[in-house]
Amino acid sequence: MAENYEPKILAFLCNWCAYAGADLAGVSRFQYPPTLRVIRTMCSGRVDPLYIAEGLVNGYDGVFVSG
């Protein structure tokens, strides 16, 4: 692999837990890679497994579900 390879990651973040942490990181001016796409969900338990498969089919290298 090339040295400058950056994987594309799709992240489903729970509104009450993980998204609050991501929001705090933004307020604190921490930076995360632009190849990370965040989708806020009401609960990580409500993420349909088909959404994970769709992310992988549509070219994402990884899918992250956090709550």
Query: What pLDDT is stored for residue 25 in this prediction?
Result: 78
CB 52 within 8 A of CB 65: yes
pLDDT for 16-50, tens place per residue?
988 888 878 778 888 888 899 999 999 999 999 99
pTM of the model: 0.84
In this predicted structure, the answer to whether residue 60 has a pLDDT above a threshold of 90 is: yes
CA distance 4 to 11: 21
Q: Is the dihedral angle over the CA atoms 15, 16, 21, 26 positive or is it negative? A: positive
CA distance 45 to 62: 18
Query: What pLDDT is stored for residue 33 in this prediction?
Result: 85
> Residues 11-20: what's their mean pLDDT?
90
